[in-house]
């Protein structure tokens, strides 16, 4: 080949080398079959403890078991074309399953790629944890991207994922859950509940205690709320049904969605509702107004003589306040 420009020739050779390297490295990874292996360990505990689980990109599932046993199943998903290749890739995985007193740890760490660079999917080994624990047992769970599922348990709980969904059962005790983008679904929580997602929705059937719920743009829904709540979304809708007397201040705010609130009979609150673009509707609630009214964009007043503050703010949606 005759190339009159030496620089063009150098660039062409360089791009050809990079393309060949990409095919050589990424090609086998993408074409590799998936091989699964399972590591199982059981630990006997004498009382309530804490499970700590960490994985680089797999899912974590923690469910109630029987007796005083913590049983760990580590499912290793290996991208490899053969058992020999799977063995080689597992050499770079550190899987720690151990016990200290009543606490159990399950940690899967894959070594960093050379110089922090990699082509294709990384890491080539992902570990899912499926774990059963006693019904009274705490958990501290973290994954770099998979989902987390937590069953009906009593204790203290911290759940974190970089993007998966959080599915949580009936929880007795304080709960903190965060995901960078997935949805959060809670059956019921009794305690201090803090849930946040960067963009998914947050839904709960029942909460008794206090709640701090946040999302960057999804909806927030609470079927039954017994206690104070602070809920904020960047643009989704909010729906909360309050149950029982309100003993502390609550606030609901959305950047653009609507807000629907249902108050129990006899609820005594100081109401402050405002929307930048919608209207405020009331139904079945007797409000002693100090400002605004039905179909207004601002409403101030007291319900049943007043009490804790209930603040409702929407950047553009309608606000509906109804009585039971």
Q: In this structure, are residues 261 and 242 in contact, taking their beta carbons and an 8 Å threshold? A: yes
Q: Is the dihedral of CA 307, 309, 310, 315 positive or negative?
A: positive
Written as six digits, the tokens of 57 are 């990109």
Question: How remote is the C-alpha of 17 from its chain's centroid?
Answer: 42
Q: In this structure, are residues 155 and 136 in contact, taking their beta carbons and an 8 Å threshold? A: yes
Q: Is 124 helix (H, G, I), strand (E, B) or coil?
A: coil
- Partners of 289 in beta bridges: 301
Residue 324 has a pLDDT of 83
- List the pLDDT tens digit at each of the 324 positions of the chain: 444 455 544 444 444 444 444 433 444 444 458 899 999 999 999 999 999 999 988 999 999 998 999 999 999 999 999 999 999 999 999 999 999 999 999 999 998 766 555 555 778 999 999 999 999 999 999 999 899 999 999 999 999 999 899 999 999 999 999 999 899 999 999 999 999 999 899 999 999 999 999 999 899 999 999 999 999 999 999 999 999 888 899 999 999 999 999 999 889 999 999 999 899 999 999 899 887 666 678 999 999 999 999 999 999 899 999 998
Cα angle: 100, vertex 105, 110; to 5 degrees: 135
Residue 296 has a pLDDT of 78
- Locus of tokens 């074409």: 31
What string of DSSP letters covers 174-240?
-EEEEESSS-EEEEEEEEEEEEEESSS-EEEEEEEEEEEEEESSS-EEEEEEES-EEEEESSS-EEE
Q: In this structure, are residues 38 and 74 in contact, taking their beta carbons and an 8 Å threshold? A: yes
Residue 120 has a pLDDT of 55
């Amino acid at each position: 080949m005759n190339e009159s420009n030496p620089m063009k020739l150098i660039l062409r050779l360089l791009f050809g080398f990079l393309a060949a390297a990409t095919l050589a490295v990424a090609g086998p990874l993408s074409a590799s079959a998936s091989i699964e292996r399972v590591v199982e360990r059981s630990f006997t505990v004498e009382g309530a403890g804490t499970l700590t689980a960490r994985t680089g990109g797999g899912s974590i599932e923690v469910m109630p078991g029987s007796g005083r046993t913590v049983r760990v199943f580590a499912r290793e998903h290996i991208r490899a074309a053969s058992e020999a290749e799977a063995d080689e890739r597992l050499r770079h995985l550190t899987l720690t399953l151990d016990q200290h007193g009543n606490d159990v740890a399950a940690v899967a760490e894959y070594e960093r790629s050379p110089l922090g660079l990699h082509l294709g999917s990384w890491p080539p080994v992902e570990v899912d944890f499926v774990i059963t624990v006693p019904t009274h047992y705490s958990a501290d769970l973290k994954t770099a991207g998979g989902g987390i599922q937590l069953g009906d348990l009593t204790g203290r709980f911290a759940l974190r994922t970089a993007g998966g969904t959080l599915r949580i059962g009936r929880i007795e005790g304080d709960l903190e859950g965060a995901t960078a983008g997935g949805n959060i679904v809670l059956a019921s929580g009794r305690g201090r509940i803090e849930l946040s997602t960067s963009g998914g929705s947050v839904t709960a059937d029942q909460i008794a205690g206090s709640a701090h719920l946040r999302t960057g743009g999804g909806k927030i829904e609470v079927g039954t709320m017994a206690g104070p709540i602070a809920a904020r979304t960047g643009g989704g809708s909010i729906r909360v049904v309050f149950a029982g007397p309100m003993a502390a201040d609550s606030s609901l705010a959305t950047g653009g969605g609507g807000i629907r609130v249902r108050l129990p009979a006899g609820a005594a609150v100081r109401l402050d509702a405002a929307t930048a673009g919608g209207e405020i509707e009331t139904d079945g609630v007797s409000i002693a107004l100090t400002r605004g009214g039905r179909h207004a964009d601002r409403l101030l007043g007291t319900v049943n003589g007043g009490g804790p503050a209930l603040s409702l703010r929407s950047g553009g949606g309608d606000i509906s306040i109804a009585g039971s």
